[in-house]
Amino acid sequence: MTQYLITFRTLTQAQRAARLLERAGYTVTIRRAPAKLSVSGCGYAAALRKRAFEAVELLRGHGLWTGKLFRLEENGDYREVLP
């Protein structure tokens, strides 16, 4: 199944976004962002399996969209799918 990561600068930002998504019916896991996706170092990500673009819209609508959206590719790399 496809895996998406929405990245955040801080843990609390990720938690706040995850709460909103969970209330909207998403299954979300908070994790450390892969090092190569974390420009400033030690970033966080909300991982989800589906409806990622809708999730981004929801976060935008609540002023919680501060990061980027990545999709896990078959070769194990993450590719940015939304700027």
Partner 1 sequence: MIYLDSAATSLRKPVSVERAVLQAMRGMASPGRGGHEAALRAAETVYACREEAAALFHVSDPSRIVFTLNATHALNIALRSLVRPGMRVLISGYEHNAVTRPLHALGAEILVAGRRLFSPDTLLDEWESALGQAELAVCTQVSNVFGYILPIDRIAALCREKGVKLVVDASQAAGILPVEMDALGAAFIAMPGHKGLLGPQGTGLLLCGEEGEPLLYGGSGAESRLQTMPGDLPEHLEAGTQNVCGIAGLLAGLRYVRGQGTAHIFAHEQKLLSAARSQLGQSGAELFCGPEGTQSGVLSLRYPGLDCEELAARLAERGVCVRAGLHCAPLAHESAGTLDTGTLRLSFSPFLSEGELREGLGILLGAAES
Q: How many CB atoms lie within 10 A of CB 7?
A: 22
Considering only 1, 25, 36, 40, the residue that binds partner 1 (CB under 8 A) is 40
- The full 3-state SS of 15-72, as one line of letters, equals HHHHHHHHHCCCCCEEEECCHHHCCCCCCEEEEECCCHHHHHHHHHHCCCCCCCEEEE
Site for partner 1 in 3-22 (CB under 8 A): 9-13, 15-16, 19
Contacting residue, 2, 22, 31, 54, with partner 1 by CB under 8 A: 31
Neighbours of 64 (CB within 10 A): 20
Q: Does 67 bind partner 1 (CB under 8 A)?
A: no
Among 41, 75, 76, 83, binds partner 1 (CB under 8 A): 41
One of 43, 46, 65, 69 touching partner 1 (CB under 8 A): 43
Residues contributing to the site for partner 1 (CB under 8 A):
9-13, 15-16, 19, 30-32, 39-44, 66
